[in-house]
Amino acid sequence: MSKKIPQNAIKVNVDTSVQQLYEKPPAIYSRKIKGTFNSLRRYAVWMLLGLYYSIPWFNYDGHQAILFDLPARKFYLLGLTIWPQDFILLSWLLIIAALLLFFVTSMAGRLWCGYACPQTVWTETFIWIERIFEGDRNKQMKLAKMPWNKEKITRKAGKHFFWLIFAFFTGYTFVGYFTPIRELTPAILNWSLGPWETFWIIFYSFATWGNAGLLREQVCKYMCPYARFQGAMFDKDTLIISYDAERGEKRGPRKKGSDYKAKGLGDCVDCELCVQVCPTGIDIRNGLQYECIACALCIDACDSIMDKMGYPRGLVRYTTEHQEQGKKTHIIRPRTIMYMLVLLAVTSAFVFNVATRVPLKVDVIRDRNRLYQENIMGMIENIYTVKVLNMDTKAHDYQISVHGLKDMKLVGPTKVHVESGGVKAVPVRLVVDPGYLKTATSHVEFVIKAVDDDSLKAESESRFIGPALGRH
């Protein structure tokens, strides 16, 4: 029988330290910098925000210039009105936008991310508001380390208050693209908003506040899918931001005018200004990284230091991998040609369809309860329902006609009035002498044409069913 070991005799070494599975990312306090690329980004922010907030206030041809009217099931894009039946046009627009993004990325890298992405645009605005209340980078870092006192609470509260005001204005404008903004504004002022408008204004406001104010670079690093698959569109001829390690290494501080080459130093003074201005907190000297949004602020920062030290600019610059290797960069290459041809084909098809589009749809539904009937005169009759959809911006009177069989008669309304956006269902009968029926099934074609506009014309094919064989 085995001897039982006393429990208190067992000694277990327990590691009381806790291993963190997720390390909270350090806060990024981006430094303000002046330069060419920073000015370009600022102009892009002002232009894009100006368009976003002003477009809903413009009218075109009696309606809001751009309006996605979901209750009425039609979208206004300037002079183009898109109905549910035209949804393929909206899909084409999205495909064109995606192909254009792929084409630009293959040529010039992540220019979209650095200058035009909504996350970038709104984040820049939120950072600008933050600097008004908390100061520049050093003051923000000092404020973050301070204990909670009156000054810190006042500055933080003021920042978040104006963040929420700006976010609310963003959400309100967003809903203004779906509910006419001239109707939405008085509804807000009179506290008479509908439940859906209220929900989406609040939802989009908090989404803007959270993404652009709190998450910021986390969206670009972990949430944006574009950052993940951009590598599939890069090649050695794609324009990227790169640090010239051959020229910059070995890094090290030095005095201006000193013979740093004799000390074995490169042009990089290791000031880390390029890191301090980066909105995603990366060090561009470590090579190309998926977190880089190509904002080029590191170029402005590095060039400013090179100017102070009297060194040539371009230690951090836009370049290509081939150019870094001393090879020739090819702008026109199979990848860009492929994107360009596909983009041209899809765009041409879209333009052609819009140019030849007739704002009139016709659907002919044959009565399926009976194949055919013979009237007291011995004629063969088929019953149909003709649905006329007027997708024009004004009402029209439409003439209904049919052809396909000899001496065929149309019995029922031959003229119908349809309001803009309206649908009219017209029951009609086709009467044919059985002697003219060569087969059991014959093709007939309904023609609908506007009385006041010959260009508004649509056709729809159907079948006429009769006896199996007719007389000659």
Question: Domain check: are 351 and 398 in the same one?
Answer: no
HSE on the CB side for 283, CA within 13 Å? 7
Question: Domain check: are 67 and 200 in the same one?
Answer: yes
Question: Domain check: are 86 and 194 in the same one?
Answer: yes
Residue 70 is assigned to a structural domain of this protein: yes
Residue 422 is assigned to a structural domain of this protein: yes
Question: Domain check: are 350 and 384 in the same one?
Answer: no
Question: Domain check: are 78 and 146 in the same one?
Answer: yes
Question: Domain check: are 329 and 195 in the same one?
Answer: yes
Residue 15 is assigned to a structural domain of this protein: no
Question: Domain check: are 81 and 206 in the same one?
Answer: yes
How far is Cα 254 from Cα 401, in angstroms, rounded to an integer? 90
Question: Domain check: are 314 and 447 in the same one?
Answer: no
Question: Domain check: are 334 and 387 in the same one?
Answer: no
Is 0.85 surpassed by the pTM of this model? no
The last residue of a domain, from among 342, 357, 372: 357
Q: pLDDT at position 469, please?
A: 56
Q: At what angle do helices 150-175 and 36-54 cross, to 10 degrees?
A: 50
Q: pLDDT at position 91, please?
A: 86
Count of the separate structural domains present in the chain: 2
How far is Cα 432 from Cα 434, in angstroms, rounded to an integer? 6
Q: pLDDT at position 471, please?
A: 47
Residue 470 is assigned to a structural domain of this protein: no
Give residue 402's domain range: 360-465
Q: pLDDT at position 230, please?
A: 77
Question: Domain check: are 285 and 407 in the same one?
Answer: no
Q: pLDDT at position 23, please?
A: 64
Q: pLDDT at position 472, please?
A: 44
Mean pLDDT by 10 residues, the chain (472 residues): 46 49 77 95 96 95 89 84 81 90 89 92 96 95 94 96 97 96 94 93 96 92 83 86 94 91 93 95 91 94 96 95 89 90 93 88 88 88 92 89 90 90 90 88 92 89 80 46
Q: pLDDT at position 70, please?
A: 86
Q: pLDDT at position 370, please?
A: 83
Residue 402 pairs with which residues in a beta bridge? 446
Question: Domain check: are 36 and 70 in the same one?
Answer: yes
3-state class (DSSP) for residue 335: helix
The last residue of a domain, from among 334, 357, 380: 357
Return the CATH number at 398. 2.60.40.10
Residue 431 is assigned to a structural domain of this protein: yes
3-state class (DSSP) for residue 132: helix
Q: pLDDT at position 437, please?
A: 87
Question: Domain check: are 339 and 413 in the same one?
Answer: no
HSE on the CB side for 219, CA within 13 Å? 18
Residue 280 is assigned to a structural domain of this protein: yes
Q: pLDDT at position 155, please?
A: 96
Residue 472 is assigned to a structural domain of this protein: no
